């Protein structure tokens, strides 16, 4: 079996494969039940390696422990991009997971037309044949940037959340910040301390009053996303299901008068953005905090998508090809969801699965 990706979801799958007695395909290449994890990063940490500098353990939403391995207490001021990768590294070492990195999977294809035949997993480091694949590639490598007329004519800088490092680079600037999600609100609160920020969203952001009771609202959100993926619908953004919370940074931005939303601009011009009311707002930078989509391009040859662009799921299993499991996808796009999905995918996979190196 091949697991693609070693973030929270892939590591959870690895843990459960170990527990169920799957051998390392690296130590025992011919073993009947064996697995390998292929990860594009050059070190442990998944997407956490790339979070912006000022995202600390105090400002993340909360990171669930990986299975069977408690996080040791960390300084709340520690950057998440250091603390989480250190935790993942310790987990990988403790669990002795067979992870190969850096290995980027470029495509997955069917070796033949047999429904239980092998899948060929092509990567920049060779090809693997597997009876099943657990895909855990997250979203970070697939940022969404919407298209607006005149975008290419803009004379200033455009960047996505993915490229944001810290507020210092915006000092004294005029910034158009686009997006209505959690990252947008965090970045608005930060950058508005050193720059003039104009916040644009397509829809009026909805802030939930009275906090978030995960055991109630969390369950409700998960059922809605599950219903969408089981119907093969394209899922919306995280915030379209969860809405926004009055987090300390949202409240701080509100208190400073920074949480002022404008309707989406209609056009981008060399010196700025043309507002819905026809006026021009000159800006130096456009920051697209417009989210991410599941990074599944390498699975395209398997034609898992329906005519609406969605992938119909049964739990973690793809309805169109039961050999393929997607974890950290749909309802499992959170650290706790990724944990559970890793467990569920391994549980549901049949016995006698084994990968073998075809070429490298």
Ligand X SMILES: Cc1cc2nc3c(=O)[nH]c(=O)nc-3n(C[C@H](O)[C@H](O)[C@H](O)COP(=O)(O)OP(=O)(O)OC[C@H]3O[C@@H](n4cnc5c(N)ncnc54)[C@H](O)[C@@H]3O)c2cc1C
Q: Which of positions 315-334 make contact with ligand X (CB under 6 A)?
A: 328, 333-334
Which of 83, 273 has the CB closer to ligand X?
83
**Of the candidates 19, 322, 293, which has an alpha carbon nearest to the alpha carbon of residue 146?**
293
The pattern of x and - marking residues 109 through 148 that bind ligand X according to CB under 6 A reads ---------------------------xxx-xx-------
- Separation between Cα atoms, residue 110 and residue 120, nearest integer Å: 6
**Torsion sign over Cα 68, 5, 55, 237:** negative
Binding residue (CB under 6 A) for ligand X from 1, 2, 3, 10:
10
**Those residues with Cβ within 8 angstroms of residue 206's Cβ, 6 or more apart along the chain or in another chain:** 243, 244
- For 81, 273, 284, 337, the CA distances from 121, given in Å and listed in that order, are 29, 44, 44, 25
| 321-326 and 133-135 strand pairing | parallel
CB of 133 to ligand X, least distance (A): 11
- Separation between Cα atoms, residue 175 and residue 188, nearest integer Å: 10
CB of 11 to ligand X, least distance (A): 7
What is the strand order of the sheet 285-288 is part of? 157-160, 285-288, 174-178, 196-201, 261-263
The pattern of x and - marking residues 180 through 219 that bind ligand X according to CB under 6 A reads ---x------------------------------------
- Expressed in percent and rounded to 5, the helix, strand and coil fractions of the chain are 30, 25, 45
Which of 40, 225 has the CB closer to ligand X?
40
Q: Binding of ligand X at residue 105 (CB under 6 A)? A: yes
Binding residue (CB under 6 A) for ligand X from 71, 82, 104, 306:
104
- Separation between Cα atoms, residue 30 and residue 177, nearest integer Å: 53
Binding residue (CB under 6 A) for ligand X from 16, 33, 298, 343:
298
Which of 5, 205 has the CB closer to ligand X?
5
**3-class secondary-structure state, position 40:** coil
Q: Which long-range contacts (CB under 8 A, 24 or more apart) does 275-283 make?
A: 281/174, 281/176, 281/198, 282/174, 283/156, 283/173, 283/174, 283/175, 283/176, 283/198
CB of 9 to ligand X, least distance (A): 4
Contact 98, 37 (CB under 8 A): yes
Which among 4-12, 213-221, 241-249, 252-260 is the span making contact with ligand X, rule CB under 6 A?
Answer: 4-12
Q: Which of positions 27-86 make contact with ligand X (CB under 6 A)?
A: 38-41, 46-47, 51, 60-63
Which of 41, 189 has the CB closer to ligand X?
41
Which of 83, 268 has the CB closer to ligand X?
83
CB of 107 to ligand X, least distance (A): 9
Binding residue (CB under 6 A) for ligand X from 192, 242, 335, 339:
335
Binding residue (CB under 6 A) for ligand X from 1, 3, 6, 57:
6
- For 20, 30, 130, 327, the CA distances from 352, given in Å and listed in that order, are 12, 12, 11, 21
> Which residues of the chain form contacts with ligand X (CB under 6 A)?
4-10, 38-41, 46-47, 51, 60-63, 104-105, 136-138, 140-141, 183, 295, 298, 328, 333-335, 338
């Amino acid at each position: 079996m091949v697991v693609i990706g070693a973030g929270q979801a892939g590591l959870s799958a690895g843990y459960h494969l170990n527990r169920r007695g799957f051998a390392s395909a690296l130590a025992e290449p011919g073993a009947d039940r064996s697995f390998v994890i292929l990860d594009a990063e050059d070190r442990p940490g998944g997407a956490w390696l790339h979070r912006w500098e000022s995202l600390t353990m105090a400002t993340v939403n909360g990171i669930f422990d990986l299975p069977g391995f408690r996080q040791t207490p960390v300084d709340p001021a520690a950057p998440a991009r250091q603390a989480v990768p250190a935790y993942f590294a310790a987990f990988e070492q403790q669990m002795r997971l067979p992870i190969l990195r850096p290995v980027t999977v470029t495509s997955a294809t069917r070796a033949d037309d047999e429904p239980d035949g092998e899948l060929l997993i092509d990567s920049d480091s060779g090809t693997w044949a597997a009876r099943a694949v657990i895909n855990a590639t997250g979203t970070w490598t697939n940022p969404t940037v919407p298209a607006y007329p005149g975008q290419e004519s803009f004379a200033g800088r455009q960047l996505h959340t993915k490229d944001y490092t810290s507020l210092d680079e915006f000092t004294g600037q005029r910034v158009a910040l686009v997006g209505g999600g959690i990252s947008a609100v965090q970045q608005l609160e930060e950058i508005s301390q050193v720059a003039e920020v104009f916040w644009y969203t397509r829809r009026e952001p909805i802030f939930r009053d009275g906090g978030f009771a995960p055991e109630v609202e969390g369950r409700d959100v998960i059922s809605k996303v599950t219903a969408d993926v089981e119907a093969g619908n394209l899922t919306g953004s995280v915030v379209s299901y969860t809405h926004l919370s009055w987090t300390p940074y949202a409240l701080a931005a509100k208190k400073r008068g920074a949480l002022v939303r404008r309707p989406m601009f209609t056009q981008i011009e060399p010196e700025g953005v043309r507002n819905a009311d026809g006026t021009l707002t000159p800006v130096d930078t456009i920051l697209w905090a417009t989210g991410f989509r599941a990074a599944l391009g390498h699975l395209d040859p398997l034609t898992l998508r329906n005519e609406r662009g969605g992938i119909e799921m049964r739990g973690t299993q793809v309805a169109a090809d039961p050999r393929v499991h997607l974890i950290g996808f749909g309802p499992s796009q959170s650290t706790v969801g990724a944990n559970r999905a890793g467990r569920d995918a391994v549980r549901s996979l049949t016995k006698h699965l084994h990968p073998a190196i075809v070429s490298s």
